[in-house]
Structure 1
């Protein structure tokens, strides 16, 4: 499994498979199974309650479904060959070979994810909310992309950066810890001065301003005790501005300056964009981080800003349409900043 999830939430729900496979001949094949009405779905089968009392029922919640229990049910029909061993496995491999040209070894060079199957849905009798998997952090990626694609030529260079691996530490060459961003800005500088000094790159980054667009936790009415009500977000109140993240008193956090917070607050107020302040839970309850601290290491001003969610990291996260719109509007105004 990937990142911080409650594993038990993933049992006995329809799953779809998405990803890509690099075959032995170097060809890349994309796979998407389980989203269309005429396609099959997959499932992690759970234990029936009739037989769980002495085993699963005695486990604490984090271990109700252990990582090794999350086996996906893929097929059950065997090949018609009495001499064959692992008949169901051979049937699956035969299907994959005919459909995608795959052989078993190709799984080594594959990235295939099992995710909840089904489209986003309106939530509530008033249709005021959106429910879907993966709103953390596609809701901020979507609003960032829409905002930057909608603006005309800005007075200052505007950039929307989309990075991977945030949920597992931002490592690897597709995470924010990589040198991709710095290299890209260096390439921009080289267009105007092919012989630019490294100090010019450092100054350009230090003079930059950044919204780290990531979601925050909206108060769940059933579990209000984990939040500090005076510093917690509510869905339907606008984009959430978070001065600092981390846990246990800002540990491993970015901490935006008061001056930059004031600049962003004034920008939102002037544009009449609904916004609210929010921290991620009580100071000693838990916490979390974003890519903001890694960007702050480049000396730029950074603050976290994004949509509040209920049931974050679950197979069906909840957002408010008002908040999605205000997030888009906030990013749109930010890209116009002078």
Structure 2
């Protein structure tokens, strides 16, 4: 029955989600993919190291360190005295296993990779997976300059094998697998025997010096082969089509080679790594681009900021704790003509709203007791608004009402989430951004299962739900911004002023 399946336009939208997830394999690749989509939509790339020519009706983007990106579009009716910013914030990083600065490692007749955990991953899910590497390399050019270049190898190169159950001890069987990342997580890439045969063959060839790890003309500390196995460096060089001796260094992580895909009986689910938080980056980017036709009549600045290092605290030059956002707003403020009267952009920020978008915990059918019964978001139930009395989430009443209004205008559902009163609560960039900028923030995100696993799961319709809500936010914030105002001299409840002692 064809009515059980989505119509063709919806299928195209879902395919686009899958394409994005497969492209955004690391924070570096995520920023590159966002850049590609913005450029295709007519956005202009600017450089934060140079002056900005920004004007109403224009759309712009810049990146920092290749792992964080800011994009904004200025409404054609922007008014420096009254307009604000509608900002969507997210993060580009996800828990993973990263290669150590010196990754060369041999154990018991096998060549391994030294790795370290980044963030709070469900590390046992990385075992018995077909793994490879991705990230960024610094490559020496013919003129001596160093240029960054993306690295991605889709071929399975590495594997972290589980210990057979027959060899586990009673303690390991009773307490479950809790891997030691130092001793048990290094993946195997080649046997020492096969590596020795490779070295012997290369030594006999005319190009052996370069293939095995550089020439004497390169200082050891300027050659990646001094710190990483030459076989790995050669594989990376081949993937980038460069000479191995020109690879000075790299920042790589392990990746799952299984691509993102739709699943379930009716292809309703999205199975992928890094849904936290690439899904949010996709939603915000797509909404920003799709809302562009209405920019000319808008009074606000539409903005997205995708930070790095959220999974490890955000305290970096590219993280939400750093100056990236405040610097960006100050420069936009100055470029749009309000710098003299408001040099820091504080008035502009006071008229703004931030939607902090990070994935939410869906109700797990096998662990339903882990949620408060009244706050268990369902897969397919729409965007989740997050609340926490201890300010682990920044959502307040006015912000929540505004977000619900955006959803209503888009004819989309929303849900509410708060942790059980006897559970600790995680956090994200909402409170950090709110504290650093003074901008009212609302924490929200689409529901998912298996958060921080190598392979996560969500309803693909929830991805598209978020796109529609955020598109409505970009299109309607300017008109709705004055509808909710707590900073007023009028009593909030004039008809009750006699009861509470307020002046009539």
Q: TM-score range by the shorter chain?
A: 0.7 to 0.9
- What pairs with 1:150-165 in structure 2 (closer than 5 Å)? 150-151=290-291, 152=293, 153=295, 154-165=298-309
Counterpart of 2:243 in structure 1 is 101
Q: Name stretches of at least 5 consecutive residues in structure 1 with no aligned partner.
A: none
Deviation digits for residues 262-286 of structure 1 (CA, Å, limit 9, x no counterpart): 222233224321111122x423323
Counterpart of 2:159 in structure 1 is 43
Write the distance in 2 (CA, Å) between the matches of 1:27 and 1:312.
34
| Count of residues in correspondence between the two structures | 324
1:306 paired with 2:433, answer no
Counterpart of 2:280 in structure 1 is 140
TM-fit CA distance, 1:222: 0.8
Counterpart of 2:426 in structure 1 is 288
Higher strand share: 2
Write the distance in 2 (CA, Å) between the matches of 1:94 and 1:259.
56
Of 264, 278, 282 in structure 1, the residue corresponding to residue 417 of structure 2 is 278
Counterpart of 2:148 in structure 1 is 28
Write the distance in 1 (CA, Å) between the matches of 2:247 and 2:130.
27
TM-fit CA distance, 1:67: 4.1
Write the distance in 1 (CA, Å) between the matches of 2:473 and 2:403.
8
SS at match of 1:161: strand
TM-fit CA distance, 1:40: 3.5
Q: CA RMSD in A?
A: 2.8
Q: Name stretches of at least 5 consecutive residues in structure 2 with no aligned partner.
A: 1-116, 204-227, 480-504
Counterpart of 1:130 in structure 2 is 270
Give the TM-score normalised by the residue count of structure 1.
Answer: 0.86
Give the TM-score normalised by the residue count of structure 2.
Answer: 0.59
Which contiguous aligned blocks of 4+ residues in structure 1 show a shift greater than 6 angstroms? none
Write the distance in 2 (CA, Å) between the matches of 1:96 and 1:2.
22
Write the distance in 2 (CA, Å) between the matches of 1:329 and 1:291.
22
Write the distance in 1 (CA, Å) between the matches of 2:231 and 2:415.
55
Question: Residues 95 and 329 from structure 1, CA distance in 2 versus in 1: closer, same or farther, beyond 3 angstroms?
Answer: closer
TM-fit CA distance, 1:314: 0.8
TM-fit CA distance, 1:94: 5.2
Of 455, 461, 466 in structure 2, the residue corresponding to residue 327 of structure 1 is 466
1:175 paired with 2:319, answer yes
Counterpart of 2:375 in structure 1 is 231
Q: State which structure, 1 or 2, has the greater radius of gyration over its C-alpha atoms.
A: 2
